[in-house]
Protein backbone atom coordinates (compact mmCIF):
# COMPACT_ATOMS: atom_id res chain seq x y z
CA UNK A 1 0.00 0.00 0.00
CA UNK A 2 1.26 3.47 -0.85
CA UNK A 3 2.61 5.57 1.98
CA UNK A 4 0.07 8.19 0.95
CA UNK A 5 -2.87 5.96 1.72
CA UNK A 6 -1.56 5.03 5.12
CA UNK A 7 -0.82 8.51 6.41
CA UNK A 8 -2.67 11.09 4.36
CA UNK A 9 -6.36 11.42 3.61
CA UNK A 10 -7.53 14.21 1.30
CA UNK A 11 -9.47 16.93 3.13
CA UNK A 12 -11.36 18.92 0.72
CA UNK A 13 5.66 20.78 -14.44
CA UNK A 14 8.93 23.23 -18.35
CA UNK A 15 12.27 21.43 -18.17
CA UNK A 16 15.46 23.03 -19.45
CA UNK A 17 14.11 23.20 -22.95
CA UNK A 18 10.61 24.34 -22.13
CA UNK A 19 11.86 27.05 -19.77
CA UNK A 20 14.26 28.57 -22.24
CA UNK A 21 11.84 28.41 -25.16
CA UNK A 22 8.88 29.74 -23.23
CA UNK A 23 7.60 33.23 -23.85
CA UNK A 24 6.99 35.58 -20.97
CA UNK A 25 3.86 34.72 -19.02
CA UNK A 26 2.23 36.86 -16.36
CA UNK A 27 0.83 35.32 -13.19
CA UNK A 28 -0.98 38.11 -11.31
CA UNK A 29 -1.13 36.36 -7.95
CA UNK A 30 2.39 34.95 -8.02
CA UNK A 31 4.29 37.82 -6.46
CA UNK A 32 2.39 37.71 -3.18
CA UNK A 33 3.41 34.18 -2.23
CA UNK A 34 6.81 33.76 -3.86
CA UNK A 35 9.43 34.48 -1.22
CA UNK A 36 13.12 35.08 -1.97
CA UNK A 37 15.58 33.13 0.18
CA UNK A 38 19.28 32.28 0.06
CA UNK A 39 19.33 29.70 2.85
CA UNK A 40 17.60 26.33 2.73
CA UNK A 41 17.07 26.51 6.48
CA UNK A 42 14.58 29.36 6.00
CA UNK A 43 12.11 26.78 4.70
CA UNK A 44 11.91 24.92 8.01
CA UNK A 45 9.94 27.61 9.84
CA UNK A 46 7.16 27.33 7.23
CA UNK A 47 6.69 23.59 7.67
CA UNK A 48 3.26 22.74 9.08
CA UNK A 49 1.82 19.35 10.10
CA UNK A 50 1.17 17.24 6.98
CA UNK A 51 3.11 19.57 4.71
CA UNK A 52 3.99 18.34 1.23
CA UNK A 53 7.49 19.66 0.50
CA UNK A 54 8.25 19.76 -3.23
CA UNK A 55 11.87 20.37 -4.18
CA UNK A 56 13.56 21.25 -7.42
CA UNK A 57 16.93 19.50 -7.71
CA UNK A 58 19.56 21.34 -9.78
CA UNK A 59 20.83 24.53 -8.11
CA UNK A 60 18.34 23.93 -5.28
CA UNK A 61 19.34 20.62 -3.70
CA UNK A 62 22.42 19.68 -5.73
CA UNK A 63 25.00 21.29 -7.99
CA UNK A 64 28.14 20.05 -9.81
CA UNK A 65 31.56 20.36 -8.20
CA UNK A 66 32.94 21.92 -11.36
CA UNK A 67 31.82 24.44 -13.96
CA UNK A 68 31.12 21.75 -16.56
CA UNK A 69 27.58 20.40 -16.21
CA UNK A 70 26.26 23.44 -14.40
CA UNK A 71 23.27 25.59 -15.25
CA UNK A 72 25.50 28.45 -16.36
CA UNK A 73 27.39 26.19 -18.79
CA UNK A 74 24.12 24.92 -20.22
CA UNK A 75 22.88 28.46 -20.84
CA UNK A 76 26.22 29.39 -22.41
CA UNK A 77 26.04 26.38 -24.72
CA UNK A 78 22.70 27.61 -25.99
CA UNK A 79 24.16 31.05 -26.72
CA UNK A 80 27.08 29.49 -28.58
CA UNK A 81 24.80 27.19 -30.57
CA UNK A 82 22.61 30.15 -31.51
CA UNK A 83 25.62 31.97 -32.92
CA UNK A 84 26.12 29.02 -35.26
CA UNK A 85 22.63 27.75 -36.08
CA UNK A 86 20.38 30.80 -35.54
CA UNK A 87 17.65 28.33 -34.59
CA UNK A 88 16.62 28.44 -30.94
CA UNK A 89 14.89 25.05 -30.85
CA UNK A 90 17.90 23.29 -32.37
CA UNK A 91 20.30 25.25 -30.15
CA UNK A 92 18.50 24.26 -26.95
CA UNK A 93 18.11 20.62 -27.98
CA UNK A 94 21.82 20.32 -28.82
CA UNK A 95 22.79 21.93 -25.51
CA UNK A 96 20.47 19.61 -23.60
CA UNK A 97 22.04 16.57 -25.25
CA UNK A 98 25.56 17.66 -24.23
CA UNK A 99 24.41 18.54 -20.69
CA UNK A 100 22.84 15.10 -20.24
CA UNK A 101 26.01 13.34 -21.41
CA UNK A 102 27.99 15.11 -18.70
CA UNK A 103 25.43 14.27 -16.00
CA UNK A 104 26.01 10.56 -16.56
CA UNK A 105 29.50 10.98 -15.06
CA UNK A 106 29.37 14.26 -13.14
CA UNK A 107 29.88 14.16 -9.37
CA UNK A 108 27.50 16.41 -7.44
CA UNK A 109 27.49 18.18 -4.09
CA UNK A 110 24.75 19.69 -1.94
CA UNK A 111 24.14 23.35 -2.67
CA UNK A 112 24.51 23.89 1.08
CA UNK A 113 26.35 21.45 3.33
CA UNK A 114 23.35 21.00 5.62
CA UNK A 115 20.77 20.50 2.86
CA UNK A 116 20.71 16.66 3.10
CA UNK A 117 20.29 16.71 6.88
CA UNK A 118 17.52 19.32 6.67
CA UNK A 119 15.62 17.19 4.15
CA UNK A 120 15.96 14.17 6.43
CA UNK A 121 14.73 16.28 9.35
CA UNK A 122 11.56 17.22 7.46
CA UNK A 123 11.00 13.59 6.47
CA UNK A 124 11.59 12.32 10.02
CA UNK A 125 8.92 14.71 11.29
CA UNK A 126 6.39 12.83 9.17
CA UNK A 127 6.09 15.29 6.29
CA UNK A 128 5.92 14.11 2.69
CA UNK A 129 8.81 15.16 0.45
CA UNK A 130 9.12 14.74 -3.31
CA UNK A 131 11.46 16.02 -6.00
CA UNK A 132 10.14 17.95 -9.00
CA UNK A 133 12.83 18.36 -11.61
CA UNK A 134 13.15 19.66 -15.14
CA UNK A 135 15.52 16.79 -15.87
CA UNK A 136 14.49 14.36 -18.56
CA UNK A 137 13.07 11.03 -17.43
CA UNK A 138 16.01 9.43 -19.27
CA UNK A 139 18.19 10.63 -16.37
CA UNK A 140 15.94 9.15 -13.67
CA UNK A 141 18.20 6.32 -12.53
CA UNK A 142 21.36 8.42 -12.70
CA UNK A 143 19.72 11.22 -10.72
CA UNK A 144 18.77 8.82 -7.94
CA UNK A 145 22.39 7.62 -7.83
CA UNK A 146 23.70 11.18 -7.57
CA UNK A 147 21.34 11.93 -4.69
CA UNK A 148 22.08 8.70 -2.82
CA UNK A 149 25.80 9.49 -2.97
CA UNK A 150 24.98 12.61 -0.92
CA UNK A 151 22.70 10.89 1.57
CA UNK A 152 19.49 12.17 0.01
CA UNK A 153 16.64 9.71 -0.49
CA UNK A 154 13.19 10.82 -1.61
CA UNK A 155 11.81 7.38 -0.78
CA UNK A 156 12.17 7.94 2.99
CA UNK A 157 8.75 9.58 3.18
CA UNK A 158 7.26 9.88 -0.33
CA UNK A 159 3.73 10.47 -1.46
CA UNK A 160 3.84 7.06 -3.14
CA UNK A 161 6.32 4.19 -3.37
CA UNK A 162 5.00 3.11 -6.74
CA UNK A 163 6.97 4.25 -9.77
CA UNK A 164 4.81 5.21 -12.73
CA UNK A 165 4.62 7.07 -16.02
CA UNK A 166 1.95 9.73 -15.55
CA UNK A 167 2.18 10.74 -19.21
CA UNK A 168 4.45 8.47 -21.21
CA UNK A 169 3.97 10.40 -24.46
CA UNK A 170 5.28 13.59 -22.86
CA UNK A 171 7.90 11.90 -20.68
CA UNK A 172 6.25 12.71 -17.35
CA UNK A 173 7.61 10.06 -14.98
CA UNK A 174 7.46 9.51 -11.22
CA UNK A 175 10.50 7.51 -10.11
CA UNK A 176 11.83 6.85 -6.61
CA UNK A 177 10.02 9.82 -5.10
CA UNK A 178 10.98 12.24 -7.88
CA UNK A 179 8.75 13.68 -10.60
CA UNK A 180 10.65 14.06 -13.88
CA UNK A 181 8.96 16.57 -16.15
CA UNK A 182 8.59 16.01 -19.88
CA UNK A 183 9.50 18.76 -22.32
CA UNK A 184 5.88 19.54 -23.18
CA UNK A 185 4.70 19.94 -19.59
CA UNK A 186 5.24 22.81 -17.14
CA UNK A 187 6.13 22.07 -13.54
CA UNK A 188 2.78 23.41 -12.42
CA UNK A 189 0.88 21.14 -14.80
CA UNK A 190 3.06 18.20 -13.82
CA UNK A 191 2.41 18.68 -10.12
CA UNK A 192 -1.37 18.81 -10.64
CA UNK A 193 -1.25 15.66 -12.78
CA UNK A 194 0.72 13.98 -10.02
CA UNK A 195 -1.79 14.97 -7.33
CA UNK A 196 -4.71 13.87 -9.51
CA UNK A 197 -3.03 10.54 -10.27
CA UNK A 198 -2.79 9.81 -6.54
CA UNK A 199 -6.16 11.40 -5.71
CA UNK A 200 -4.36 13.54 -3.19
CA UNK A 201 -5.23 17.06 -2.03
CA UNK A 202 -2.45 18.11 0.38
CA UNK A 203 -3.50 20.59 3.07
CA UNK A 204 -0.30 22.60 2.67
CA UNK A 205 2.40 22.68 -0.03
CA UNK A 206 5.86 24.22 0.00
CA UNK A 207 7.70 24.44 -3.32
CA UNK A 208 11.34 25.48 -3.70
CA UNK A 209 13.09 26.29 -6.99
CA UNK A 210 15.94 28.53 -8.15
CA UNK A 211 14.13 29.55 -11.36
CA UNK A 212 11.39 32.16 -11.15
CA UNK A 213 9.42 30.87 -14.19
CA UNK A 214 9.12 27.52 -12.44
CA UNK A 215 8.01 29.09 -9.17
CA UNK A 216 5.39 31.10 -11.03
CA UNK A 217 4.15 28.01 -12.84
CA UNK A 218 3.64 26.06 -9.61
CA UNK A 219 2.19 29.09 -7.82
CA UNK A 220 -0.41 29.48 -10.57
CA UNK A 221 -1.29 25.77 -10.54
CA UNK A 222 -1.75 25.56 -6.76
CA UNK A 223 -3.72 28.80 -6.76
CA UNK A 224 -6.10 27.31 -9.33
CA UNK A 225 -6.89 24.47 -6.92
CA UNK A 226 -7.03 26.77 -3.88
CA UNK A 227 -4.35 24.67 -2.18
CA UNK A 228 -2.63 26.48 0.69
CA UNK A 229 1.00 27.00 -0.25
CA UNK A 230 4.24 28.91 0.11
CA UNK A 231 6.65 29.21 -2.84
CA UNK A 232 10.35 29.94 -2.41
CA UNK A 233 12.64 31.33 -5.10
CA UNK A 234 15.95 29.99 -3.84
CA UNK A 235 19.01 32.07 -4.73
CA UNK A 236 21.94 30.35 -3.03
CA UNK A 237 23.63 29.68 -6.39
CA UNK A 238 22.95 33.07 -7.97
CA UNK A 239 26.60 34.05 -7.63
CA UNK A 240 27.69 31.24 -9.96
CA UNK A 241 26.46 33.21 -12.96
CA UNK A 242 28.68 36.14 -11.98
CA UNK A 243 31.81 34.00 -11.62
CA UNK A 244 31.22 31.74 -14.63
CA UNK A 245 34.24 31.33 -16.89
CA UNK A 246 33.71 30.06 -20.40
CA UNK A 247 37.40 29.22 -20.84
CA UNK A 248 37.30 26.81 -17.88
CA UNK A 249 34.09 25.17 -19.08
CA UNK A 250 35.43 24.81 -22.63
CA UNK A 251 38.66 23.19 -21.43
CA UNK A 252 36.70 20.76 -19.26
CA UNK A 253 34.30 20.00 -22.12
CA UNK A 254 37.08 19.25 -24.60
CA UNK A 255 38.80 17.00 -22.03
CA UNK A 256 35.52 15.24 -21.33
CA UNK A 257 34.84 14.56 -25.00
CA UNK A 258 38.34 13.17 -25.49
CA UNK A 259 38.92 11.26 -22.22
CA UNK A 260 35.38 10.76 -20.86
CA UNK A 261 36.64 12.21 -17.60
CA UNK A 262 35.87 15.45 -15.79
CA UNK A 263 38.67 17.65 -14.52
CA UNK A 264 38.17 20.09 -11.65
CA UNK A 265 38.09 23.86 -11.95
CA UNK A 266 41.43 23.97 -10.14
CA UNK A 267 43.03 21.65 -12.70
CA UNK A 268 41.57 23.71 -15.52
CA UNK A 269 42.91 26.96 -14.05
CA UNK A 270 46.42 25.48 -13.76
CA UNK A 271 46.29 24.37 -17.40
CA UNK A 272 45.13 27.79 -18.54
CA UNK A 273 47.94 29.65 -16.77
pLDDT of residue 55: 98
Q: Are residues 38 and 83 in the same domain?
A: no
Which residues make Cβ contacts (< 8 Å) with residue 149, sequence separation at least 6?
107, 108
Write down the pLDDT at residue 133.
96
Domain identity same for 213 and 264: no
Q: What integer pLDDT is reported at residue 91 of this predicted model?
A: 87
pLDDT band at 182 (very low <50, low <70, confident <90, very high): low
Tell me the mean pLDDT in the region 63-81.
94
Q: Once rounded to an integer, what is the mean pLDDT over residues 179-191?
A: 90
pLDDT > 70 in the chain, percent: 88
Quick one: 142 and 219 in the same domain?
yes
Residues 169 and 270 in one domain: no
Q: Are residues 159 and 42 in the same domain?
A: yes
pLDDT digits (tens, 9 = 90+) for 78-107: 999 998 877 888 888 889 899 999 999 998
Say whether both 113 and 202 belong to one domain. yes
pLDDT at 93: 85
Give the model's pLDDT for residue 89.
Answer: 83
Q: What are phi and psi of 71, to 5 degrees?
A: -60, -40
Clarify whether residues 185 and 254 are in a common domain: no
Co-location of 76 and 144 in the same domain: no
Q: State mean pLDDT over 158-178.
A: 94
Which is more confident, 168 or 22?
168
CA 167 to chain centre: 19
- Average the pLDDT over 15-30 and give the result: 37
pLDDT digits (tens, 9 = 90+) for 231-255: 999 999 999 888 999 999 999 999 9
Mean pLDDT for the chain overall: 87
Domain span at 151: 3-65+109-237
What is the number of alpha carbons within 13 Å of residue 212 lying toward its C-beta? 10
Flag the least confident range among 118-127, 153-162, 179-188.
179-188
Determine the pLDDT at residue 31: 39
> Would the pLDDT of 6 be above 70?
no
27-55 pLDDT, tens per residue?
333 334 799 999 999 999 999 989 999 99
**Are 92 and 124 members of one domain?**
no
Q: From CA 66, how far away is CA 70, in angstroms rounded? A: 7
CATH of the domain at 174: 3.40.50.1000
- Three-class secondary structure assignment of 202-224: CCEEEEEECCHHHHHHHHHHHHH
Q: Could you read off the pLDDT of 73-86 as tens digits, one per residue?
A: 999 999 999 988 77
Provide the domain count of the chain.
Answer: 2
58 by Cβ neighbours in 10 Å (0-12 / 13-18 / 19+) ranks as buried
Same domain for 254 and 191: no
Mean pLDDT of 102-126: 95
77 & 129 share domain? no
| Closest residue by Cα to residue 55 from 127, 163, 1, 124 | 127
- Taking the C-alpha atoms of residue 43 and residue 189, their distance in angstroms, rounded to an integer, is 23
Shared domain check, 129 and 231: yes
Amino acid sequence: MDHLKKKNTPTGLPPWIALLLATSVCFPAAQAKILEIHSFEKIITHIQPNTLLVLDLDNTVIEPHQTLGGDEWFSDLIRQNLDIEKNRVAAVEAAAKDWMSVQLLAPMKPVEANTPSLIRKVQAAGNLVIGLTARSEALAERTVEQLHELGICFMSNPVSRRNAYLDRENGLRYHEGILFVGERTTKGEALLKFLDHHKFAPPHVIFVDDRRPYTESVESALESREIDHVIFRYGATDSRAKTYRRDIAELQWQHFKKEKKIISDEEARKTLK
